[in-house]
Amino acid sequence: MKRFSIGRLTLPAYSFLAMAFMLIPIVYTIVFSFNDSKQRTNTQWQGFTLDKWLGVCNKQEVCSALGNSIFIGVVSTLIATILGTALAIGLVRYKFKAKALVNLALFLPMATPEVVLGAGLAGLFFNAGVGAGMPTVIIAHVVFCLSFVVVTVKARVQTLDPVLEEAGRDLYANPSQVFWKITFPLLLPGIISAALLSFSLSFDDFIITYFNSGSVETFPKYVYVAAARGVPAEANVIASAVFLAAILIVLATQINGAFKRKRLAKK
């Protein structure tokens, strides 16, 4: 009686294969962080070792580049998140004539190739006589993170019912209490995802950084330059550690969210 069709299995099988394909270089990078490579290069498998993990900062340049990347990521995320959250609230909650124009102004940075923004900013700093360094990198990173923060927080603001704020006012809260006790906690999940997104964009950026960092070394920049001679296994260690930490955070929040949904669905 069952209409059996091979089609029912094709889609799941394809999807799992596609996922596996996407994960190949990740697995490769992690595996080679355990490679006991004696030379600079890390291309041939030479046996398992934990040495590179345990002594990752023996390669001093790698560790200091990582430190810079984290610093740049945190500072630019902080600035982008504050500016972007304000923009998102303003765009959803208020009516004004130039809204379409503001939306366009926020979309354009996302539609600008990195090389254009990188060269443009570098030219501006050059013309203004500002030397490239940590401040210029951070300024540049905020530009491309900002729009992504706005998009992410905006989605959250749109699902927020203004009646909740009216109810807060009705219950004797003044405007700042309404914001900190009602609006902000409800927006927090969106703000956190926006910040995580912003950090990962900043942390992994190469092209814009390359144009605007001068002598400041970041992790991607280190890898790019090292690629000419061969990337040491220590770089794989850093990338793998960052990956595992990020995936654990995301998995934890996602699984927690799925559990909550399930519990709600059962009620």
Partner 1 sequence: MAFAAFGSGSAKEHKSPTKSSRIVLALLMPGLVYLGLFFFTPLFSLVVTSLEAPAASGGIGEYEYGFQWQNYVEVVTTYMPQILRSFLYASIATIIALLVSYPLAYFIGVKLRTRPMLQRLMLVLVIAPFFISFLLRTIAWKQIFSDGGALMQFAYSTGLMDKSQHFLGTDAAVIFGLTYNFIPFMTLPLFTTLERFDVRLLEAGSDLYANPAAVFRKITLPLSMPGIISGTLLVFIPIAGDYVNAGQNFLGSSKTSMIGTIVDTEFLQTQNYPIASALSVMLMAVIVALVSLYVRSSGTEDLL
Partner 2 sequence: MAIDFKPSGADLELKNVRKDFPGFTALQDMDLHIPAGEFFALLGPSGCGKTTTLRIVAGLEEPTAGQVLIGGKDVTASKPHERPVNTVFQSYALFPHMTILENVAFGLRQRKIEDPLKKAMDALNLVELGYAAERRPQQLSGGQQQRVALARALVNRPALLLLDEPLGALDLKLRRQMQIELKAIQMEVGLTFLHVTHDQEEAMDMADTVAVMNKGHIEQMGAPEALYERPKTAFVSKFLGQSNLFVGKVADSSASSLSIEVGGHKITVPKDRAEKQTGKICIGVRPEKTTFHRTNPKLGSDHVVVGPGEIIDIRFTGVSNQYLIDIPNVGEVTVFAQNVGISPVIELGEQVWVSWKVEHSFGLSDLPAGNEDE
What residues numbered 175-214 form the site for partner 1, per CB under 8 A? Answer: 193-194, 196-197, 200, 204, 206-207, 210-211
Between CA 245 and CA 40 the distance in angstroms is: 26
- The SS3 of residue 124 is helix
Q: Which listed option, partner 1, partner 2, none, makes contact with residue 1 (CB within 5 to 8 Å by class)?
A: partner 2
Between CA 11 and CA 56 the distance in angstroms is: 42
Q: Does 24 bind partner 1 (CB under 8 A)?
A: yes
Using CB under 8 A, which of the segments 1-9, 24-32, 86-94, 167-175 binds partner 2?
1-9
CB of 164 to partner 1, least distance (A): 10
Q: How far is residue 164 from each of residues 150, 167, 192, 197, measured CA to CA in Å?
A: 22, 5, 21, 28
Tokens read off for 185: 């906690």
CB of 172 to partner 1, least distance (A): 20
Backbone phi, then psi, for 35, in 5-degree steps? -80, 130
Tell which one of 123, 180, 184, 185 touches partner 1 (CB under 8 A).
123
Q: Does 28 bind partner 1 (CB under 8 A)?
A: yes
Residue 144's closest CA among 215, 72, 214, 216? 72
Tokens read off for 108: 């354009």
Write down the residue that tokens 């070792």 correspond to. Answer: 49
- The SS3 of residue 227 is coil
Write down the residue that tokens 């979309």 correspond to. Answer: 107
Site for partner 2 in 60-89 (CB under 8 A): none
Q: Does 243 bind partner 1 (CB under 8 A)?
A: yes
Tell which one of 62, 65, 72, 122 touches partner 1 (CB under 8 A).
122
Write down the residue that tokens 């400041």 correspond to. Answer: 216
Which residue, 2 or 95, is less far from partner 2 as judged by CB?
2
CB of 245 to partner 2, least distance (A): 39
Which residue, 5 or 176, is less far from partner 2 as judged by CB?
5
Count the alpha carbons within 13 Å of 48 in the hemisphere toward its beta carbon: 2
CB atoms inside a 10 Å sphere around CB 120: 15
Between CA 88 and CA 31 the distance in angstroms is: 41
Using CB under 8 A, which of the segments 49-57, 70-78, 180-188, 249-257 binds partner 1?
249-257
Tell which one of 50, 105, 130, 171 touches partner 1 (CB under 8 A).
105
Q: Does 266 bind partner 2 (CB under 8 A)?
A: no
Tokens read off for 84: 């972007």
Site for partner 2 in 3-32 (CB under 8 A): 3
Q: Which listed option, partner 2, partner 1, none, makes contact with residue 2 (CB within 5 to 8 Å by class)?
A: partner 2
Q: Does 240 bind partner 1 (CB under 8 A)?
A: yes
Contacting positions for partner 2 (CB under 8 A) = 1-3
